[in-house]
Amino acid sequence: MLNITNLNFAYGSVQALTDIELTIPKAEITCIMGRNGVGKTTLLQNLMGVLRPASGSIEMDGKNMARWPAHKRVYAGLGLVPQGRHIFPKLTVEENLRIGLQGRTDGQRRIPENIYDLFPVLKQMSHRRGGDLSGGQQQQLAIGRALAGDPKVLLLDEPTEGIQPNIIHHIGKVLQQLVSDMQMTVILVEQYLDFVRDIGQRVYILDAGQVVAQTQAGEISQEMISRHLSV
């Protein structure tokens, strides 16, 4: 689905990503792991076009998107659930979801009902202000907003951060459902190992801006954990 080759990015003189190579298969949950500050968010932002890589290619369906602006990548089918959720606090839940509709190419202006089926709390709270929702409800709203853009590839940046276990479980089930029922491709940046083991397939581990290990979620070794993941 997505092939990333030789991707490099620097913040000024700080090299944040070096020769990143990733293969992201369609209709799987590919996980990007690594300690704080290793470049996970920088990688997602390069994939989305929020940041532009210095070199390298990001191919989707045979097209290299590396020089494309973010909006063109959204129209091509990428959707981001950013770290920290970035809900518009003064807009209602419904208005936040409507913003996601801007990413669609089919002109649909109604919020798809399946978003409310996946996250019933968003229906119950559709007229509440985003800023009044709990962290877990905001995370569901951030995912719902990304889904409103009808993405083929959903990128999520640490969706379990600060979220209570039953909502994490629900989010995991939703992601698995999107993959199995809608053939969605998911790129999940995550530090929560049990969540990755529960729902992930392929796993890439970053350290100091480089891919240092690649494995399957069920096969993450103790050695990988102590070398690259534990603090």
Ligand X SMILES: Nc1ncnc2c1ncn2[C@@H]1O[C@H](COP(=O)(O)OP(=O)(O)OP(=O)(O)O)[C@@H](O)[C@H]1O
Instruction: Restricting to residues 80-109, name those near ligand X by CB under 6 A.
Output: 83
Least Cβ distance, residue 8 to ligand X (angstroms): 13
Among 30, 41, 46, 160, binds ligand X (CB under 6 A): 41
The answer to whether residues 198 and 176 touch, using CB atoms and an 8 Å cutoff, is no
Alpha carbon distance 156, 202 (integer Å)? 15
What is the C-alpha separation between 95 and 127, in angstroms, rounded?
9
Under rule CB under 6 A, how many of the chain's residues touch ligand X? 12
Site string for ligand X, 14-33 (x = CB under 6 A): x-x-----------------
Under the binding rule (CB under 6 A), the answer on residue 185 touching ligand X is no
Give which of 67, 53, 45, 75 is closest to 7, Cα–Cα: 53
The residue within the footprint of ligand X, chosen from 4, 33, 42, 174 (CB under 6 A), is 42
Encoded tokens for 158: 């640490």
230 binds ligand X (CB under 6 A): no
CA torsion 230→139→45→67, rounded to 10°?
150
Note whether 34 binds ligand X by CB under 6 A: yes
Cβ-based nearer residue to ligand X, 32 or 101:
32
**Least distance in angstroms from the C-beta of 206 to ligand X:** 7
Strand-pairing partners, residue 23, are 3
| Spatial contact of 185 and 154, defined as CB atoms under 8 Å apart | yes
**Footprint on this chain of ligand X (rule: CB under 6 A):** 11, 14, 16, 34, 36-42, 83
